[in-house]
Amino acid sequence: HRQLLSTPLPIPASFWKKQMKDNTSKPSATAEIQQQCQQRQSIVIATAMLYELDLAKALASRVVEAYRLGAWIIIGDDDTGERDGGRDLFLTELDRLMMELSNACGDDMPQILWTTSVVKNQKLGWMGKSVKLLHLNPPPSAIDSLL
């Protein structure tokens, strides 16, 4: 949910009473819709963050946190992540943290899937910039399209 204001406006009690009344008069959702609602998965996307070692290490920590919450994580990185070793540090730290989590939970290590893509943007002068995309915990319905 987005919060558009830094200080939320007070909502009158009459609004909440009306919402409660409206919700109780509606028929309950079907089992199929309820199942779809329960299967919602957050997506966490981060790009161009592996160029600096501190950011790369912090990102590994956030990726594991998002994974624990069930999110599909997509990390995009172009060649800037390889310049100062940021991508290598990220992967080393991610592997270490995922191993700790795996050992603590008794789970197998999750599979990390790498794909490549090309991005183009005339305004930035990118005529065809190669980008690597890390996918962690994608939904089963997306795996075939990623391969």
Name the pTM for this structure.
0.67
Element (H, E) at 73: strand 72-77
Structure-model confidence comparison of residues 110 and 38, the more confident one? 110
Asked whether the beta carbons of 38 and 67 are under 8 A apart, the reply is no
Asked whether the beta carbons of 51 and 84 are under 8 A apart, the reply is yes
Chain centroid to Cα 32, Å, comes to: 25
Asked whether the beta carbons of 66 and 73 are under 8 A apart, the reply is yes
Q: Let me know how long the chain is.
A: 147
Asked whether the beta carbons of 87 and 56 are under 8 A apart, the reply is yes
* Banded pLDDT at 37 (limits 50, 70, 90): low
* pLDDT tens, position by position, 113-143: 888 888 888 888 878 888 889 999 988 888 8
Find residue 69's DSSP bridge partners.
none
Q: Reduced to 3 states, what is the DSSP secondary structure of residue 88?
A: helix
Q: What is the pLDDT of residue 136?
A: 93
Residue 82 has, within 13 A of its CA and on its CB side, a CA count of 6
